[in-house]
Structure 1
Amino acid sequence: VLRAVMQEVLEAEMDEALGASKSERTPERLGYRSGYYGRTLVTRVGKLELRVPQDRAGRFSTELFERYQRSERALVATLAEMYVQGVSTRKVKAITEELCGH
């Protein structure tokens, strides 16, 4: 579940960076997607295999973790705690976006 929430946040960050969701055509679009690359984060709850979206220009950078970061920070622990406490994945996503400055 933690992986799913983090994956949703990555997708939302990419949508925001490009000004459009996947396959959406708008005049405000700032770029295009270009697949994914794999990233493994080592957390207290185990390894998380994430698919990080890429844009064609190579400018997208997530706020969830730093460029070469391979282990978690307090964010992952906080996300896990929210889930354990029964917070919905939608609320966890909103809180994560707030923490990351979106």
Structure 2
Amino acid sequence: MTQFTTELLNFLAQKQDIDEFFRTSLETAMNDLLQAELSAFLGYEPYDKVGYNSGNSRNGSYSRQFETKYGTVQLSIPRDRNGNFSPALLPAYGRRDDHLEVDGYQ
């Protein structure tokens, strides 16, 4: 079994809120994807020698709350030194998932 399924089974066995399990799993996955996206953008992994004197590098992160179906997740949005990185995972200035928006013109 994978770590995800093991944790899910533990959550179910302890009769905890399943939405909280999915929220924390989603938060971890989204933060990992944001870091991977920055690595792909820069063309090297953190602490890789290829990145030295490359002209652009990691420059910390800022936090953002993002509302999802399972609750609010805390995201750490990475930055690059030149300010060119814009994550494709999230819309610019987006604070909530599309599923939360109600279409008033049904």
TM-score by length of 2: 0.64
3-state secondary structure, aligned to 2:60:
strand
Question: Higher relative contact order by CA 8 Å / sep ≥ 6: 1 or 2?
Answer: 1
Q: 1:38, CA displacement in angstroms?
A: 0.5
Counterparts of 1:48 and 1:27, CA distance in 2: 30
Q: Structure 1 vs Structure 2: percent identity of aligned residues?
A: 31
TM-score by length of 1: 0.66
**Higher Cα Rg: structure 1 or 2?**
2
Paired residue for 1:21?
45
Over aligned residues, Cα RMSD in angstroms?
Answer: 1.8
Paired residue for 2:15?
none
Q: 1:31 to 1:46 in 2, by over 3 A?
A: same
Alignment of 1:25-64 (within 5 A): 25-26=49-50, 29=54, 31-64=56-89
Amino acid at match of 1:8: D
Q: How many matched pairs?
A: 74
Counterparts of 1:40 and 1:63, CA distance in 2: 16
Q: 1:45, CA displacement in angstroms?
A: 0.6
Counterparts of 2:42 and 2:51, CA distance in 1: 11
Q: Is the 8 A contact 1:18 1:31 kept in 2?
A: yes
Deviating above 3 A after TM superposition, structure 1's stretches of 4 or more consecutive aligned residues are 27-30
Counterparts of 1:70 and 1:30, CA distance in 2: 31
Q: 1:73, CA displacement in angstroms?
A: 2.8
Paired residue for 1:3?
27
Q: Is the 8 A contact 1:18 1:30 kept in 2?
A: no
Alignment of 1:64-75 (within 5 A): 64-73=89-98
